[in-house]
Chain A
């Protein structure tokens, strides 16, 4: 089953959408919490704080009421007591006291008690002392009410502030969680990018950098991104194309350098290779010999058996040459039935032994012609030292020696005289 692959644009679009969704959820969650904090703060500011202020004012007014009651008893004259009582009644009439049932009752009792005390004192001044003792109880009641009111107001703030603190703490935890979640998502995203994009791209880069016909086709592990897979496939196809191209080039080169009939080097390639080898040998003072060989009576063989037979003789002769000579030796079909040789690292004497042995083998070798008869061919060879001068000069001397071998009766090796 082929592995399923996904287009990169779809994958990244999906990841981006997932991230956007996650981010949006986080934003919404945080916005909800932020709204909760805002509402709590707003409630604290718009409702609780005014309530607290009202409680504080009530407490202050109650304390003012108690204070004015004390002033009532501190008054020295009936007029002063009357004025103090008016003040008590003014304070007791404040909306903050009137609207609070407990405070209103305490204020009413205070007013009634002080009014009675004023009237009683007008008739019996001594009654003030007795009344003052009773006032102490009312004063304590007012003081307790002041304390209770202050505490009630403070508790309002405490409860609301606890709500705000709890909401902010929850928001903090959620923010940390959201940060971790987003961080994890980004880490996962980076991991996926590395695994499925960066690493495959690096593999492709390495493969392209080392792409060569001398190395096997690059191998890639299975990947999930279609585009990466496509590039890897293209890289493999590129390698295949390079290999095919190289093979074609080699084939063309071979065709350009070989003789069609015998498969030996052609004359042009031989001359290039021989010249290069000769330069190398002469630079290092190494011995080199060249030879020219020509099949004897080849024309009459053609005339007798036909050109097909001649071609068969040439092919067989070439195979015999390939089998007999060293791999380092160069040999080509120089033209017609004429062949040229170059023997690297060989003196004329050593080459003489070699070509003499081959000449004997050739003369003893029977060649099967296509239409049945067996024939034997002999070879005349001119050998020359190529230690000095260009290849053309050495071959010219070898050609003169070949001519001499022909003149002396053929089927022999003649060594050319040394150049002057």
Chain B
């Protein structure tokens, strides 16, 4: 009888866990201060904590939907893709835009939402730029300024690509918060980042000196759908994650998560 009970219990456990092994999940933090010792999430009272909370909640929901126990690590954006690529992480939540270069290194889930990029800066700097170059500042006519961007992001890749021809100084930072800090400490004139990160940083900025400047851009690889990344050739895991994304979108869970942390719901 004991043996039968063991067999039944084991069968029930196996049948209920399609992803038997634990998953190592990387969640992007906006601020290095959020990387707490032992990899735990910093308290929500930490400045800019709500920036990561939505991503963290989404990661946990996906883990629940694919019935996996996830060990979540909170790391900077630049650590996620190499970590997934070399197998240290099974899933990476960093709002990754899909590019051919990245597709050669990792696999992408179905889209989770759409994003664009926009310059952040002070209105005064924007006016100076306009007066100097005779046209309002925009991503397309950036020149002769210092622009901060998160290391490993598409914004940095774009800026690196045009920097030499336009006399740009690219200030690479570990996080978007650090890029925003570069504006505050005067080491950069503008910062190029995703609109969500930009909004979160601007709206929490106590100095009230910064805002979006110039139009948003979705081309040049700076905007489109964003995805969860995972190691290549993990098709079974990718299919499970895609099913979870579809469920989360279909039953409104995704919208509710965003609503809890942002005043508007944009996907």
Residues in A lying within 8 Å of B, measured CB to CB? 57, 61, 64, 68, 79, 82-83, 85-87, 89-96, 98-99, 104, 108
Q: Does A90 contact B218, Cβ atoms closer than 8 Å?
A: no
Q: Nearest Cβ distance between residue B177 and chain A, in whole angstroms?
A: 16
Whole-angstrom distance from the CB of B50 to the nearest CB of chain A?
14
A407 to B198: give the CA distance in the assembly, Å. Answer: 166
B residues neighboring A (CB under 8 Å): 114-116, 118, 195-196, 198-199, 202-203, 208, 211-212, 215-218, 223-224, 263-264, 266-267
Q: List 20 A-B contacts (CB under 8 A).
A: A64-B264, A85-B211, A86-B199, A86-B211, A87-B263, A89-B118, A90-B195, A90-B196, A90-B198, A90-B264, A93-B116, A94-B114, A94-B216, A95-B115, A95-B216, A95-B218, A95-B224, A98-B216, A98-B223, A108-B215
Decide if A98 touches B211 in the complex (CB within 8 Å).
no
Which of B118, B203, B267 sits near A93, CB closer than 8 Å? Answer: B118
Give every chain A residue within 8 A of B266 (Cβ-Cβ): 61, 64, 90-91, 94
User: A86–B202 contact, CB under 8 A?
Assistant: yes
Asked if A87 contacts B223 (CB within 8 A), the reply is: no
Chain B residues with CB under 8 A of A94: 114, 116, 195, 216, 266
CA A293 – CA B180 in complex, angstroms? 160
Interface of A, secondary structure class, is: helix
Chain A residues whose C-beta falls within 8 Å of the C-beta of B217 in the assembled complex: 98
Q: Is the CB of A87 within 8 A of B264?
A: yes
Q: B208 to chain A: which residues have CB within 8 Å?
A: 79, 82
Contact residues in B for A95 (Cβ distance below 8 Å)? 114-116, 216, 218, 223-224
In angstroms, how far is the closest chain B Cβ from the Cβ of A54?
9
Which residues does chain B contribute within 8 Å of A91, judged by CB atoms?
Answer: 264, 266
A98:B263 contact, CB within 8 angstroms: no
A93 touches B212 (CB 8 A): yes
Structural contact, A68 and B264, CB atoms closer than 8 A:
yes
Q: Are A86 and B212 in contact (CB under 8 A)?
A: yes
Q: Which 7 A-B pairs have the closest CB atoms?
A: A93-B216, A93-B195, A90-B199, A95-B218, A89-B212, A95-B114, A95-B116
Contacts of A92 in B (CB 8 A): 216
A57, A83, A96: the one within 8 Å of B203 (CB): A83
Max chain B Cβ within 10 angstroms of own Cβ: one of A57, A68, A98, A99: A98
